[in-house]
Structures are given as C-alpha cells and as structure tokens.
Amino acid sequence: MINSDSSSKDGKYLSDASKALVCERLCNEIQVYKFILNASINLSKKQVHESLEELKLSCPAVAEATSCMALLPDITEKLRLNRGYDKHVELDRSGGQISVGRGVYKLPTSKT
C-alpha cells in the first residue's frame, strides 16, 4: 500500500498500523471481492487461490474474516436511479441476497 507521507522512511509505504486501518475500513469491499472471486467463471481455481493468497499478504485479518463490523450500506435506490436497473432486478440487502433473473446470490454478512 502506497503512502505519500514524507515522514515515512522512503515516502511510499504505509505503516503496519495504517495498513490495518485501511483494511478494516475496506472490510465490506474485501468481502464482496472475495465473493466475486469465488463466483467467477473465467478464473481457474489456481488463479482464485493466488488472488486470495495475495489478499492475505495485504490484509490478513480481513482476508480471513467472513463478516465485518460495519453494515453494508443500502444503495438500492442509488443503483436503480443511476445504473438503469429495470423492475426485473431485485436488489434486497435486508434479505442478504441479490436476485437477478433466475440467479440468487448470497451477500457477505456483517457482524452486529
């Protein structure tokens, strides 16, 4: 992870504490990323494994987690307005899944 803080040794890298904070703040995004990797049909199992291993090097605690402290934000209306989803697309954050056509996808859970 890159940092432009001139007080760091070479001005480019985050401290371990800063890196952990960034990973924590990106927890939901990382959980969705893991979900997308595991649901992909264009990546081999080896490629998925390699990507998850790289993630563990950057954000070990969050990479191993299955949920986050913060809830996923409800962006249903924003998606409908800005992405052009039609009435056949059901976006249901409260039910913990997204339904598109005949596909139903479980969302990562958040700690309560």
The whole-number pLDDT of residue 112 equals: 46
Q: Poorest-confidence range of 19-23, 34-38, 62-66, 96-100?
A: 96-100
Per DSSP, the three-state class of 38 is helix
d(CA 40, CA 10): 38
**Tens of pLDDT, residues 60-101:** 999 999 888 988 887 777 776 777 666 565 555 556 666 555
Q: What is the mean pLDDT of the chain?
A: 78
Pick the residue with more confidence: 91 or 16? Answer: 16
**Kind and range of the H or E run holding 100:** strand 97-100
Dihedral of CA atoms 27, 31, 32, 34 in degrees, nearest 10, equals 130
In degrees, rounded to 5, the angle at the alpha carbon of residue 19 between the alpha carbons of residues 16 and 20 is: 85
- 82: how many CB neighbours lie within 10 A of its CB? 9
